[in-house]
């Protein structure tokens, strides 16, 4: 197994009930508490559910999606019983057309994923988010920039094909992409933190952009 491929080989059934990505970033969690979340929401690239419970606590229903069925199985397994009736899951590749009708959702949330895609792919993903969102629906995303992963031996790991967005470049691109939305943006950062995936450990840090938008 190549070092650059180990994130695609996670066996979620062998991980603890906690998300492998931790409890969530402070500013993202605070914003989820603050904004109005109602109706039907899509948690795009939900992974094993780091933020999903926050959505379930406020929305009428949540569709958690991911390309990895194992991640969604863990998400279902670890969801408290009182919220399971509100939870639905759908496995699909978000770089393809989403398997939903136009205007399906009152809100779309996506965290920790969109920065992996080059701009030409990202434009398609954002267009699909807009397509499945109702008029006046909300979108909330975070977008990592200046990502740095350092292994214990000091070597730097860059995910294969990762564009490596810088903060100002990404901010300009996102503002243009959401020009048809009423948006609010915040900038924050993740200080160096230990991450352990399977038998691999590295220190992760980044800047990131938080966007909350309302579709006009």
Average pLDDT, the chain: 91
Helix count and strand count (H, E) for the chain: 5, 7
Q: In the chain, what are the domain boundaries?
A: 3-215
pTM of structure: 0.91
Query: d(Cα 185, Cα 200) in Å, to the nearest integer?
Result: 33
Query: d(Cα 178, Cα 5) in Å, to the nearest integer?
Result: 32
Structure tokens at 70: 């194992």
Residue 197: is its pLDDT beyond 80? no
pLDDT of the residue at 163: 94
Q: What is the mean pLDDT of residues 62-79?
A: 95
Q: How far is CA 22 from CA 16, 50, 108, 157, 197, in A?
A: 11, 7, 21, 19, 11
**Of 83, 75, 26, 18, residue with least CA distance to 47:** 75
Residue 6: is its pLDDT beyond 50? no
DSSP string, 165-192: --HHHHHHHHHHHTTTEEEEEEEEEEEE
pLDDT of the residue at 8: 56
Give the position of tokens 């807009």: 130
46 band by pLDDT with thresholds 50, 70 and 90: very high
192 band by pLDDT with thresholds 50, 70 and 90: confident
21 band by pLDDT with thresholds 50, 70 and 90: confident
pLDDT of the residue at 27: 94
% residues pLDDT > 70 (the chain)? 95
Span of 21-35, 85-99, 104-118, 202-216 with lowest mean pLDDT: 21-35
pLDDT of the residue at 70: 92
- Interval 30-41: pLDDT, tens: 999 999 999 999
Which CATH number is 3-215's, of 2.70.70.10, 3.40.50.2300, 3.40.50.150, 3.30.565.10?
3.40.50.150
Residue 19: is its pLDDT beyond 90? no
């Amino acid at each position: 197994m190549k070092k650059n491929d180990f994130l695609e080989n996670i066996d979620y059934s062998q991980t603890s009930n906690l998300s492998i990505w931790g409890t969530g970033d402070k500013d993202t969690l605070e914003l989820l508490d603050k904004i109005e979340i109602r109706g039907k929401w899509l948690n795009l690239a939900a992974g094993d559910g780091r933020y999903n419970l926050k959505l379930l606590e406020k929305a009428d229903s949540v569709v958690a999606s991911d390309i990895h069925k194992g991640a969604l199985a863990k998400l279902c397994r670890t969801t408290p019983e009182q919220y399971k009736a509100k939870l639905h899951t759908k496995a699909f590749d978000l770089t393809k057309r989403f398997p939903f009708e136009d205007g399906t959702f009152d809100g779309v949330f996506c965290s920790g994923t969109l920065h992996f895609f080059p701009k030409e792919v990202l434009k398609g993903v954002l267009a699909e988010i807009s397509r499945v969102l109702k008029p006046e629906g909300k979108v909330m995303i975070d977008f990592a920039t200046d990502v740095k992963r350092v292994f214990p031996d000091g070597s730097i790991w860059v995910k294969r094909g990762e564009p490596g967005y810088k903060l100002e470049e990404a901010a300009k691109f996102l503002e243009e992409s959401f020009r048809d939305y009423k948006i609010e943006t915040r900038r924050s950062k993740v200080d160096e933190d230990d991450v352990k995936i399977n038998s691999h450990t590295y220190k992760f840090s980044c800047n990131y952009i938080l966007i909350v938008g309302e579709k006009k």
